[in-house]
A = this chain, B = another copy of it.
């Protein structure tokens, strides 16, 4: 989901999430450029979540496990007996509306795994198990078989077990299919969570390309698609697939990248570039600046979105991953070695995308966007 964290001060929640500002499409002649009434009021959502969290005050005795405070991060951590367990929950969101339009569901199955295991990878946790939740109007065996194939592919890439799930047939509550899940992970003996707390100025940002939009920004992307002359059947110049199919491309899974680097002392942070785009980097450390001065020029669907949707750079980089789906933060002396390990792990396309300096927030110097925080 392209949802930003809203965490009440001092809470150890990785947090319910609120929508970041975004650009909504306008039909007809007006360009897709500004926030418009897409039914989402970001400030209202943030306020509602703060109201929920303000009421959750209970802290259980240590006999029930000890939560590890990790404010605003990708996963919740809890010490249970002799292990630290990481847990994260997320949904595929409105990407499933596009899947329904194209009647292709395998990608949604992969994404149900990916959105969760990539968040586990962002704290350096090794995925162990997933439970899926499908809420729908009715259960179509062909659709479910495709989702199952996708879940299988996702689990394979993440080396994770399916431990169960829930299928709710709730035609009065849900239109189409709402797919999500929860994943748990752990830290193999000797590994500490990689939280970003050790990040310091001078660290280098390595970026691993995304496979496309992953599962974020679809409310906006679908509107751009609907506003384009021939809808989902159009092809971009140079592409053999329709834009609809390109947008539906399943999320790349970064578990093997995290596994390759989480035990190395030169690794200081991991960030899944999910909802909130490059703002996600601020979740790792609030008192440094992430300077994205070598972010590659967006191509493919990102270029198409910018042009067809007439979306500003500031909106683009806080809504979509803009070509880089996962960022690894390393000490400068470890950068070359980290790139070698990533290559061996199957991420030969990783590259330096920026650096850490003094300051706060995230900046894209040549393009102009700058963001002070995540929300």
Contacts and interface: CB of A to CB of B under 8 A. Distances in A.
Interface of A: 1, 3, 12-19, 39-41, 44-45, 47-61, 63-65, 67, 75-78, 80-83, 85, 87-91, 93-94, 96-97, 126-129, 131-135, 137-145, 147-149, 151-152, 155-156, 159-176, 178, 180-182, 184, 186, 188-189, 219
Contacts of A169: 3, 18-19, 39-40, 45
Top 3 nearest A-B pairs (CB, nearest first) are A76-B163, A55-B148, A48-B139
A362 to B, nearest CB: 23
Given A56-B148, A65-B186, A178-B174, A141 B91 contact: no
Contacts of A87: 129, 131, 163-164, 182, 184
Given A48-B144, A139-B48, A182-B131, A167 B65 contact: no
Nearest to A162: B56
A164 B56 contact: no
B152 A15 contact: no
A189 B199 CA distance: 37
Contacts of A58: 152, 155-156
A141 B48 contact: yes
Contacts of A161: 59-60, 64-65, 67, 78
Contacts of A93: 168, 170, 173
B188 A63 contact: yes
Contact of A166 (B3, B48, B137, B173): B3
8 contacts: A3-B167, A3-B169, A13-B165, A15-B165, A16-B132, A17-B168, A89-B165, A173-B178
Contacts of A128: 64-65, 78, 80, 85
A143 B39 CA distance: 17
B65 A166 contact: no
A144 B184 contact: no
A159 B66 CA distance: 12
A164 B18 CA distance: 13
Contacts of A59: 161
A100 to B, nearest CB: 10
A126 B60 CA distance: 12
A177 to B, nearest CB: 8
Given A13-B162, A131-B182, A182-B89, A145 B52 contact: yes
A18 B64 CA distance: 32
Contacts of A168: 1, 3, 17, 91, 93, 180
A137 B219 CA distance: 13
A13 B161 CA distance: 10
Contact of A151 (B52, B80, B164, B181): B52
Given A1-B168, A13-B163, A45-B169, 14 more contacts: A3-B167, A16-B165, A16-B166, A17-B167, A19-B169, A39-B138, A40-B171, A48-B140, A50-B141, A52-B145, A60-B159, A65-B161, A168-B180, A182-B182
Contacts of A138: 39-41, 44-45
Nearest to A161: B67
Given A144-B48, A169-B45, A170-B93, A85 B184 contact: yes
Given A131-B76, A161-B67, A175-B173, A166 B56 contact: no
